[in-house]
Amino acid sequence: MSPPHVPVLLDEVIAALAPRPGDVIVDATFGAGGYTRRLLDAGATVHAFDRDPDAIAAGRAWPETQAQPPRLVLHPRRFSELVAGLAEAGVAAVDGVVFDIGVSSMQLDQAARGFAFSSDGPLDMRMSQAGPSAADFVNQAGEAEIADVLYRYAEERQSRRVARAIVAARPLATTGDLARVVRKALGHRPGAPKDPATRSFQAIRIHVNGELDELIAGLGAAERVLAPGGRLAAVAFHSLEDRIVKQFLREASGASAGGSRHLPQASVDSTPTFVQVAKAIHPSAAEQARNPRARSATLRAAIRTAAPARSLAA
């Protein structure tokens, strides 16, 4: 079965994970299953996590879920729940973990999910399709809170102006409503290389889904479940995500002892829990030409040492 979307840096991610027959690998962000397909083809057993019920439902049609024992085990959970999910499946340690962080192409391409402003749809943005939506946030939050979210999660310099415009225009029901308000507040020049609404949509989506907190928890969970010699690969799509991954690996490899405003301080331990295997990897010009969404992607990879997992303290 071929997935409808090919994830970015596919060959590079598989090379970083170096799957072998019999390996047990976690695809922490299953999505359309592009990484999982290649891992299965290499002979690995995959535990795939995704909070999106649509992704899990599609995965249930894969024949590997019916094998005895199953070679594809689906977990309808957040990747911050890796430890608990694997424990329930009787797995204490794994040989690899891969993260493809952020919103998936499937989610972006479905107007009804409300992630993008390229086509009008309900203002939703919930990966899990449960809990408060983007519409709930923009229509109920105070102006100061909206401004803080826009600045914190998208580094929007005009966050107060945009927040003020959102509050004045309420209620907002669709992605088109929100995009029009942001564009008017910031000034929209048709044909400009980047739509001014992009940053606001990113920030609200990250807030609604708690994405940065999830990433921090997911990286810590990967550290706990990876066996010595196990491999971690993480693909980030914007600077806030990549900063968290970079700082996590610097601290875990002993290159940095300090925390950041997004990543909590780790317990002091002189024994590295990871060894970084390469510098950051970016898509080739050819891949960027094939898939413009790959343009901002960054892959970082590391190998787990035998040191005990650190405890992260907020």
Asked if residue 1 belongs to a domain, the reply is no
- Among residues 168, 186, 209, the one where a domain terminates is 209
Asked if residue 271 belongs to a domain, the reply is yes
The residue range of the domain holding 99 is 10-105+211-304
Residues 225 and 94 reside in one and the same domain: yes
Q: What is the pTM of this model?
A: 0.89
Residues 176 and 291 reside in one and the same domain: no
Residues 101 and 216 reside in one and the same domain: yes
pLDDT tens, residue by residue, 55-72? 999 999 999 999 999 999
* CATH number for the domain harbouring residue 149: 1.10.150.170
Q: What DSSP string describes 162-196?
A: HHHHHHHH----BHHHHHHHHHHHH---TT-SS-T
Mean pLDDT of 219-232: 98
Asked if residue 26 belongs to a domain, the reply is yes
Q: Does the bond joining 264 to the residue before it have cis omega, within 30 degrees of 0?
A: no
Q: How many domains does the chain have?
A: 2
Residues 100 and 219 reside in one and the same domain: yes
Instruction: Give the chain's mean pLDDT.
Output: 89
Percent of the chain residues past pLDDT 90, beyond the cut: 73
Among 259, 257, 265, which residue's Cα sits nearest to residue 243? 259
Structure tokens at 296: 């901002």
- Among residues 188, 209, 230, the one where a domain terminates is 209
Residue 268 has pLDDT above 70, yes or no: no
Residues 193 and 237 reside in one and the same domain: no
Predicted pLDDT at 26: 98
Residues 79 and 141 reside in one and the same domain: no
Contact 123, 172 (CB under 8 A): yes
CA dist., res. 192 & res. 187, Å (int): 11
Where are any strands of DSSP class E within the chain? 24-27, 45-49, 72-75, 94-100, 226-236, 274-276, 298-304
pLDDT tens, residue by residue, 103-142? 655 545 555 565 677 778 999 989 888 899 999 999 999 9
Residues 216 and 202 reside in one and the same domain: no
* CATH number for the domain harbouring residue 38: 3.40.50.150
Asked if residue 314 belongs to a domain, the reply is no
Residues 121 and 90 reside in one and the same domain: no
By CB atoms closer than 10 A (0-12, 13-18, 19+), residue 136 is middle
Asked if residue 2 belongs to a domain, the reply is no
- pLDDT category at 193 given cuts 50, 70, 90 is confident
CA dist., res. 48 & res. 77, Å (int): 9
Q: Within 13 Å of residue 208, how many CA atoms lie on the same side as its CB?
A: 29
pLDDT tens, residue by residue, 147-188? 999 999 999 999 999 999 999 999 999 999 999 999 999 987
The larger pLDDT score, comparing residue 308 to residue 259, is at: 308
Contact 106, 54 (CB under 8 A): yes
